[in-house]
Amino acid sequence: MRSFANRTEGFEDSIFAVMSQKAAQYQAINLSQGFPDFDGPEFIKKSACDFINKGANQYAPFAGVKELRSSLADLYKDFYDLSYNADSEITIVNGATEGIYATIQALINPGDEVVVFEPVYDSYVSSIKLAGAKAVPVTLKGPNFTFDKQELENAFSHQTKLVIINSPHNPTGKVFSTQELEMVARPATKHDCFVLSDEVYEHLVYDDVKHIPFASLEGMKDRTITISSAGKTFGLTGWKVGWCCASDDVIDRIRKVHQYITFSIATPLQFAVAQGLKEIKSYLVEFRSCYQSKRDLFMQGLEELGFELPTPKGTYFIMLPISQKTELDDIGFCEKLIVENKVATIPPSAFYLNSEEGKKYLRICYAKEDETLKKALSNLQGL
């Protein structure tokens, strides 16, 4: 048999798939993979069924249905005072993951460098490698997951083409401040780089913290590609309805790639998301309250077990420090919890390219029913 493509060398199964498989093998409570174990809101599911029954079941335009692009343009203007042309500056993609891949393929050449913040979502690194480029990490250091300004500036070079920032941040739960975002904007401007801003958790922020779109910073809109998704906002991760927003010349290139990946996204789901976005303001009140109460419930339980941890201000993840409980590293402790305590988490060292910081933590997803979280806390008794 002939050999496989060199670009796939070193690729392994995603850590999320691996840990979910182990959870099933040991019948452990799965707090590893980032999706809810409860369903999304009834109003948007009913809307999808209505559009299916109305016959919205053929290919959508490859840029996305106009109704969804228009709803998104309205949302960005209303929420963030950002103006995007629905026809030329927004494209609907198969979840944020395709948006990330299509953007990197549209912008990056072999030999280019891409600055990323570690712990880094594994899709970024894989997409960069497939483009023949190099990921250059800047470490977010615990307990508050801040970065060093000098380390950030040193990460840039004449080969830097793109910076990827994710706020609210998976897996740390960090929400970047305006000052931190401006620290990223300065070298990006100096080196004339694009910025890919992954904002899929934009509406999952707590304690009166505000999400700040990178494109809203002065002078940043034209160089920023904003990516988000309905999956996190509506708790419907299986729908895979995401979007890219950028200047028309950038979107044109992203569309050229996108049309040869998925071409178009499920038509009735696009119409349903468009309708759902029209009701988002009233929906978000209950949505945030639900997830904040889950965060508080689970954090209180972890603290009662003797863990000391910072409060995540966004997403539905906790980076749990483990050094006070074990001398094992993250992988060893993760395996122990699955086998002995029947609780599956993620060893975050998989998200680091340079630092050893990840060995000191576990990533836990609390987007679960309250009873699921309480059962997991019960299983962790005695640690």
Calculate mean pLDDT across residues 354-367. Answer: 96
Q: Of 228, 259, 280, which closes a domain?
A: 280
Give yes or no: residues 275 and 288 share one domain: no
Give yes or no: residues 46 and 35 share one domain: no
Torsions phi, psi for 92 (to 5 deg): -90, 130
Give yes or no: residues 26 and 106 share one domain: no
Buried b (16+ CB within 10 A) or exposed e, 178-217: eebbebbbebbeebebbbbbbbbbbbbbbeeeebbbbbbb
Q: What is the CA radius of gyration of the chain?
A: 21
pLDDT at 190 over 80: yes
Give yes or no: residues 236 and 287 share one domain: no
Domain range for 339 is: 6-40+281-379
What pLDDT is stored for residue 108 in this prediction? 98
What mean pLDDT is reported for the chain? 96
What is the CA angle 316-319-323, rounded to 5? 155
What is the CATH classification number for the domain harbouring 164?
Answer: 3.40.640.10
Give yes or no: residues 71 and 23 share one domain: no
pLDDT at 14 over 90: no
How confident is residue 103, by pLDDT bands cut at 50, 70 and 90? very high
Q: Of 239, 264, 280, which closes a domain?
A: 280
What pLDDT is stored for residue 253 in this prediction? 98
Give yes or no: residues 73 and 217 share one domain: yes
What pLDDT is stored for residue 20 in this prediction? 82
- SS in 3 state form for the chain? CCCCCHHHCCCCCCHHHHHHHHHHHCCCEECCCCCCCCCCCHHHHHHHHHHHHCCCCCCCCCCCCHHHHHHHHHHHHHHHCCCCCCCCCEEEECHHHHHHHHHHHHHCCCCCEEEEEECCCHHHHHHHHHCCCEEEEEECECCCCECCHHHHHHHCCCCEEEEEEECCCCCCCCCCCHHHHHHHHHHHHHCCCEEEEECCCCCCECCCCCCCCHHHCCCCHHHEEEEEEHHHHCCCHHHCCEEEECCHHHHHHHHHHHCCCCCCCCHHHHHHHHHHHCCHHHHHHHHHHHHHHHHHHHHHHHHHCCCCCCCCCECCEEEEECCCCCCCCHHHHHHHHHHHHCEECECHHHHCCCCCHHHHEEEEECCCCHHHHHHHHHHCCCC
Calculate mean pLDDT across residues 156-176. Answer: 97
The verdict on residue 1 lying in a domain is no
The verdict on residue 48 lying in a domain is yes
Give yes or no: residues 190 and 331 share one domain: no
Q: How many structural domains comprise the chain?
A: 2
What pLDDT is stored for residue 11 in this prediction? 80
What is the CATH classification number for the domain harbouring 335?
Answer: 3.90.1150.10
pLDDT tens, position by position, 301-356: 999 999 999 899 999 999 999 998 999 999 999 999 999 999 999 999 999 999 99
Give yes or no: residues 75 and 24 share one domain: no
Calculate mean pLDDT across residues 127-148. Answer: 96
How confident is residue 183, by pLDDT bands cut at 50, 70 and 90? very high
pLDDT tens, position by position, 299-314: 999 999 999 998 999 9
pLDDT at 18 over 90: no
Give yes or no: residues 331 and 210 share one domain: no
Global pTM value: 0.96
pLDDT tens, position by position, 113-127: 999 999 999 899 999
Q: Of 241, 259, 280, which closes a domain?
A: 280
Instruction: Tally Cβ neighbours within 10 Å of residue 175.
Output: 23
pLDDT at 13 over 80: no
pLDDT tens, position by position, 227-240: 999 999 999 999 99
Give yes or no: residues 153 and 61 share one domain: yes
